[in-house]
Structure 1
Amino acid sequence: MSQPSPPPLVLSLSFLFLLPLLPAASASTSAASIQSLLLSQGLPGGLFPESVKSFSLDPNGLLEVILERPCLAKFETKVYFDSIVRANLTYGRLQGLEGLAQQELFLWLPVKDIIVNDPSSGLILFDIGLAHKQLSLSLFEDPPPCKPQGDKVVITKKGGRKSMGFGSER
């Protein structure tokens, strides 16, 4: 004879006791994990550089990525990453970005949003406030190396104000 199965409530309670033993889904120290998270959200895995130390994602979708240090990477143009980058993560979007700027001509402009509307188009949209820049998704397949830079990065903000984003390292 087979034994009767335990009622569903007993199974649910036993799962609750095991829950603290599972690794937290909201934090990680692996750059590969941030890639997996981005891919699961319809974004390319190489949006953040190799120097990711850790990241967290709260229940409201606030993503915080901590890098080893501020640095410069190159996709199509130079991109500045502060040591902490924050954004609201939803499917196909990083909105309200803080800590990320892109060089356009001789200006450093803050990146406000990164959007993939249609992955089949092969394009990703960078909203830099004054304009939207479409780039090939293939540029963001792998995390770029991110190097410290000796020059100062001056980020131009709305209204012509400027802020220092990168100190000289000599």
Structure 2
Amino acid sequence: MSMLLLLLLLVPFITPSSQSSIRNLLEARGLPGGLFPDNVESYSLDDKTGELEVQLQNPCFARFENRVYFDRVIKANLSYGGLVGLEGLTQEELFLWLPVKGIAVNDPSSGLVLFDIGVAHKQISRSLFEDPPVCYPPGESKFVPQNVLVFNAKCFIYW
């Protein structure tokens, strides 16, 4: 009886968090574990279709090489080494915010992660994705602009 009580007390401390779970899932699929921010609330994966849905506590800005914006819900098709059909992630490039359509690790030995931003493919050092980035709501960080409006997480306006 006392062993059962001890086990029940320890379960909350040994149960993996959503962040460590998504990290483990990504790493098992050949992707870096820090692709999603530190505010992951939950995720679901359909093993048959590979459809992945990640729920964040709130939409937010983070930084890898450039600033990125995560919607509250990010969807993609997860396969080994890639996220395709990505929805809910936007990256700043030369003052333009472009939707990230896919993320891939084509050659793990290269140390590069490939971001498909539609008009181009951007290669980013895998080392930037070792740990989940800290994610800030608009206006709550020195690298997140105070004067940004977000419309449907697709269009950003500076003033």
Band the TM-score falls in, shorter-chain normalisation: 0.7 to 0.9
Q: 1:152 aligns with which of 149, 153, 159?
A: 149
RMSD over aligned CA atoms reads: 1.9
Mind listing any 5+ residue stretches in structure 2 that lack a counterpart?
1-15, 140-147
Q: How many Å separate the matches in 1 of 2:38 and 2:74? A: 14
Q: How many Å separate the matches in 2 of 1:73 and 1:103? A: 11
Work out whether residues 82 and 165 of structure 1, in 8 Å CA contact, stay in contact via their aligned partners in 2: no
Q: Rg: which structure is higher?
A: 1
Q: 1:46 aligns with which of 31, 34, 37?
A: 34
- TM-score w.r.t. structure 2 length? 0.79
- Deviation (angstroms), 1:54: 0.1
What residue is the counterpart of 1:21 in the other structure? none
Q: How many Å separate the matches in 1 of 2:76 and 2:17? A: 18
Work out whether residues 29 and 55 of structure 1, in 8 Å CA contact, stay in contact via their aligned partners in 2: no
Mind listing any 5+ residue stretches in structure 1 that lack a counterpart?
1-27, 156-161
Output the amino acid matched with 2:109: S
Output the amino acid matched with 1:58: D
Does the C-alpha gap of structure 1 residues 117 and 46 become closer, same or farther in structure 2, counting only changes over 3 Å? same
Residue 30 in 1 paired to residue 18 in 2? Answer: yes
Q: How many Å separate the matches in 1 of 2:120 and 2:133? A: 24
What residue is the counterpart of 1:132 in the other structure? 121
- TM-score w.r.t. structure 1 length? 0.74
Output the amino acid matched with 1:122: G
